[in-house]
Amino acid sequence: MAIDYTAPLSLPTHTGIASIELHTINAVAYSQSPFTFQGQAHAYSGEMWTADVSLPPMKRSDAERWIAFLMSLRGQYHTFLLGDPNGTSVIDDASSLTITGTTGERLVDANVPSGETIKAGDYFSLGTGNDQRLYKVLSDYTGTGSLQSNVLDIWPALRADASSATADLTTPQGRFRLASSDTNWSINDTSFYGLTFGAIEAL
């Protein structure tokens, strides 16, 4: 079956990920006097996820499926979905979350069921397909069962306007592309394959 490139690809699931290192990058200019060490910082709007992914050692039958997936991305051309493998459940008991806000807002309106709490550190995603974006909650919020204004701090700032948008709390992922157009893998003397790749958020 031909690969469907109309939406971001999904990672292969026949093996797990050995480790993933997630980074959050903020566009901040900082200058410091070499004489007084006093500094001045200016924050711009740029915010971006990046990741470094390491796969477990595997034999060729498993490795070739990963290699084919990475090669199918054609370097940085096509995109895929990626998130924290441990971020598929909330820390506390929030069973649902809806978000309302405008593009660029970092403090958004939220609706969480009454008495349930969304915690700092929880992940969620908004949108689907090419519009899917990954977010992280930065402050605890216990819901009232109705939409409340300016109650939830998030990172990054909203990528698109949201009006009572249902957040995905169980499979939160964002749209990424490879950090490099160079795909490579190693094979050792026991015929185990080693694969690692870097990813940057596709904005």
Could you report the per-residue pLDDT of 13-22, keeping only the tens digit for each? 999 999 999 9
SS3 94: coil
Q: What mean pLDDT is predicted for residues 12-41?
A: 96
| 174 pLDDT above the threshold of 90 | yes
Helices (H), the chain: 60-72
Q: Considering the entire predicted model, what is its pTM?
A: 0.94
Fold of 86-172: Elongation Factor Tu (Ef-tu); domain 3 (2.40.30)
pLDDT at 70 over 90: yes
Sorted by where each begins, the domain ranges of the chain are 11-83+175-203, 86-172
Average pLDDT score over the chain: 96
Q: Please give the full DSSP string across 44-64, using - where no structure is assigned.
A: EEEEEEEEEEEPPPB-HHHHH
If you average pLDDT over residues 171-191, what whole number do you get?
A: 96
Q: What percent of the chain has pLDDT over 70?
A: 100
pLDDT of residue 7: 94
Identify the pLDDT of residue 133: 98
CATH fold of 11-83+175-203 reads Phosphorylase Kinase; domain 1 (3.30.200)
pLDDT digits (tens, 9 = 90+) for 134-147: 999 999 999 999 99
Nearest to 175 by CA among 88, 48, 89: 48
Percent of the chain with pLDDT over 90: 99
CATH topology agreement for domains 11-83+175-203 and 86-172 = no
With bands split at pLDDT 50, 70 and 90, how would you rate the model's confidence at 1?
Answer: confident
